[in-house]
Amino acid sequence: MEKIIVLDFGGQYNQLIARRVRECHVYAEVHSFTLGLDKIKEINPSGIIFTGGPQSVYAADSPQIDKEIFKLGIPILGICYGSQLIAHELGGKVATAPVSEYGKTEVNVEKDSGLFKDVSKTTTVWMSHTDYIEKAPEGFKITGNTPVCPIAAMENAAEKIYAVQFHPEVMHSVEGMKMLSAFVYDVCGCKGEWKMDSFVEKTIKEIREKVGNGKALCALSGGVDSSVAAVLMSKAIGKQLTCVFVDHGLLRKNEGDEVEEVFGPNGPYDLNFIRVDAKDRFYAKLAGVTEPEKKRKIIGEEFIRVFEEEAKKIGAVDFLVQGTIYPDVIESGLGKSAVIKSHHNVGGLPDCVDFKEIIEPLRMLFKDEVRKAGLELGIPEKLVFRQPFPGPGLGIRIIGDVTEEKVKIVQDADFIFREEVAKAGIDKELGQYFAALTNMRSVGVMGDFRTYDYAVALRAVHTADFMTADCAQIPWEVLQKTANRIVNEVKGVNRVLYDCTSKPPATIELE
Ligand code: XMP
């Protein structure tokens, strides 16, 4: 399969570059800049892209690259730090720019460049740099400039080495996709074979070959990833697959039934489906626990225990299916950042199930590609475009201790909010939106009576990657209608608040 590798030098857009290349229908994967030459030769990519990065190439501890990479005959595109690294390594000069450029910038490009032939002579790009290339290495032609950045792009077409100071991968670079596409198709000679229909077909065939007559077990949450993984498996091996759906009693309203409708015996898929009603066990374990990390831990551990018991009933299986997706497996250039919350997913399962091998059919896919694969497989849109829902579920949307009564309140309030958002037709614009239950009770008046009830918090955010998020400006009428309905229809609530914080400093979930 044709492949481009993205060498990560710590830039914040590393995954985005890979996604953009994949949008050109060429498979791309991100590797740390430390990936050795031997490994690169083994992968034998059609092209290599160096990402940006936060450092100066001349700083003592800056990430470097083995110069031999330029002699492999593989086309290279350097972006931002990557472009400076090319200049630095090949005998050019990098220096602190007299004027830093941040944000949208007009760049003049040479139309006869391999990258810019389809691009306007002056085009808007996204810049973010304090260093610049002061002198191009020998053999390089300058192909782009801005008033304060004389070498905004350069190339050595004979050696197939290209460099751009700006970020073509970012949406604000208006013709950036044309540049990346020119690199991928014209310079690297790719044909564009990465398409979801062929991925689905190929993966089903591979699973079938791998599993043979064996048995596979899948922890199904009803989320997009595990659902798509389960359907791929089901299409490949039918009833040799068993899906276990643990209903921990912390799901959204009707969610358990909805999952059963799709995957259960009356649904369209050929598989064994086991729904475990474990809510009493979870509520018992959570009783009186208020500390968020402790709640997360309890839910994660209990989940594993329930799954383990079910797995034991089934007996030894050959394969354990996981819905791991590509962003979970990327090694980053400069190391990982701090853990703010311990995310619960099925990461703990391998220890508790007796199996021979793990199958991760979505390991190569980004989230949007998982969704495309889901549609390709005929999974209902409602499930494919479901908003993210955390593993610990409503357990972390109820501040303080969790009780069955509080779960019911938050389920009902959340259901109303989702209904009103959908009615207003704004659901597709929002990254995530939900109701949570604060543990604040306050005084209200209903009819002629004093009430002392809970306050529900509504949250809605816009986000591209869930790492940062902006509070969404939900139309006032929608909020008002939702608030009215919640206090009228949900017993135990007399106040509704809207959370207007962004992330950071808040997080998306309340715990
Ligand atoms: P935060 O609250 O950290 O959430 O801003 C970012 C995104 O992650 C989801 N989230 C989780 N997902 N297990 C998950 O699978 C978890 O434990 C978990 N905690 C938060 C959250 O819903 C949001 O989309």
CATH of 3-187, picked from 3.90.1170.50, 3.40.50.720, 3.40.50.300, 3.40.50.880, is: 3.40.50.880
Q: Where are the domain boundaries for CATH 3.40.50.880 in the chain?
A: 3-187
Going by alpha carbons, the residue nearest to atom 14 of ligand 1 is 390
- The secondary structure element, H or E, covering residue 240 is none
- The secondary structure element, H or E, covering residue 156 is strand 149-156
pLDDT at 375: 96
Token pair in block for residue 46: 């059609």
From 454, 434, 419, 428, select the one nearest 511 (Cα to Cα). Answer: 434
Q: For ligand 1, what atom is nearest to the CA of residue 340?
A: 3
Instruction: Kindly state if the Cβ of 498 falls inside 6 Å of ligand 1.
Output: no
Active site residue 169: yes
Active-site residue identified among 2, 25, 31, 80: 80
Instruction: Kindly state if the Cβ of 392 falls inside 6 Å of ligand 1.
Output: yes
Instruction: Give residue-wise pLDDT tens across range 74-96.
Output: 999 999 999 999 999 999 999 99
- Please, which pLDDT band fits residue 480 given cuts at 50, 70 and 90? very high
First-to-last alpha carbon distance for the chain, in angstroms, is 43
Instruction: Kindly state if the Cβ of 503 falls inside 6 Å of ligand 1.
Output: yes
* List of residues 6+ apart from 51 with CB closer than 8 A: 6, 7, 8, 9, 10, 11, 13, 14, 17, 79, 80, 81, 82, 333
Q: Where are the domain boundaries for CATH 3.40.50.620 in the chain?
A: 196-384
For 44-140, strand residue ranges (E) read: 47-50, 76-79, 93-109, 122-135
Give me the CATH code for the 398-498 domain, please.
3.30.300.10
Distance, CA 390 to ligand 1 centroid (Å)?
5
Helix (H, G, I), strand (E, B) or coil at 199: helix
Q: Where are the domain boundaries for CATH 3.30.300.10 in the chain?
A: 398-498
Instruction: Kindly state if the Cβ of 391 falls inside 6 Å of ligand 1.
Output: yes
Instruction: Give residue-wise pLDDT tens across range 322-373.
Output: 999 988 887 666 764 556 767 666 556 777 888 899 999 999 999 999 999 9
Instruction: Kindly state if the Cβ of 297 falls inside 6 Å of ligand 1.
Output: no
8 A C-beta contact, residue 81 and residue 128: no
Distance, CA 509 to ligand 1 centroid (Å)?
7
Phi, psi of 216 (to 5 degrees): -125, 150
Least trusted range by pLDDT, from 246-250, 321-325, 352-356, 402-406: 352-356
Instruction: Kindly state if the Cβ of 463 falls inside 6 Å of ligand 1.
Output: no
Instruction: Give residue-wise pLDDT tens across range 283-303.
Output: 999 999 999 999 999 999 999
Give CA–CA dist 404/332, Å, rounded: 41
Instruction: Kindly state if the Cβ of 324 falls inside 6 Å of ligand 1.
Output: no
Answer yes or no: is pLDDT of 464 > 90.
no
Going by alpha carbons, the residue nearest to atom 11 of ligand 1 is 390
Active site residue 357: no
Active site residue 471: no
From 45, 12, 52, 29, select the one nearest 366 (Cα to Cα). Answer: 29
pLDDT at 225: 94
Beta bridge partners of 245: 275
Task: Tell me the DSSP string of 115-151.
Answer: TTTTS-SEEEEEEEEEEEEEEPPTT-EEEEEETTEEE
- Please, which pLDDT band fits residue 116 given cuts at 50, 70 and 90? very high
- CA 416 to each of CA 375, 412, 421, 487, 501: distance values in angstroms, whole numbers, following the listed order: 27, 6, 9, 11, 22
Instruction: Give residue-wise pLDDT tens across range 195-222.
Output: 999 999 999 999 999 999 999 999 999 9
pLDDT at 352: 81
Give CA–CA dist 149/61, Å, rounded: 25
Which CATH topology does 196-384 take?
Answer: Rossmann fold (3.40.50)
Give CA–CA dist 218/226, Å, rounded: 8
pLDDT at 90: 98
pLDDT at 335: 61
The mean pLDDT value for 253-273 works out to 96
- Which residue of 343, 345, 389 sits with most ligand 1 atoms within 8 Å of its CB, as the best mutation to test the pocket? 343
Distance, CA 419 to ligand 1 centroid (Å)?
22
Distance, CA 511 to ligand 1 centroid (Å)?
9
8 A C-beta contact, residue 499 and residue 508: no
Instruction: Give residue-wise pLDDT tens across range 134-188.
Output: 999 999 999 999 999 999 999 999 999 999 999 999 999 999 999 999 999 999 9
Mean pLDDT for all residues in the chain: 94
8 A C-beta contact, residue 16 and residue 173: no
- Which residue of 509, 510, 511 sits with most ligand 1 atoms within 8 Å of its CB, as the best mutation to test the pocket? 509
The mean pLDDT value for 16-34 works out to 95
Answer yes or no: is pLDDT of 321 > 70.
yes
Q: For ligand 1, what atom is nearest to the CA of residue 342?
A: 17
Distance, CA 449 to ligand 1 centroid (Å)?
39
- Please, which pLDDT band fits residue 228 given cuts at 50, 70 and 90? very high
Instruction: Kindly state if the Cβ of 432 falls inside 6 Å of ligand 1.
Output: yes
pLDDT at 333: 67
- Which residue of 221, 294, 341 sits with most ligand 1 atoms within 8 Å of its CB, as the best mutation to test the pocket? 341
pTM over 0.75? The answer is yes
Give CA–CA dist 429/202, Å, rounded: 33
The mean pLDDT value for 406-433 works out to 97
The mean pLDDT value for 14-27 works out to 95
pLDDT at 338: 59
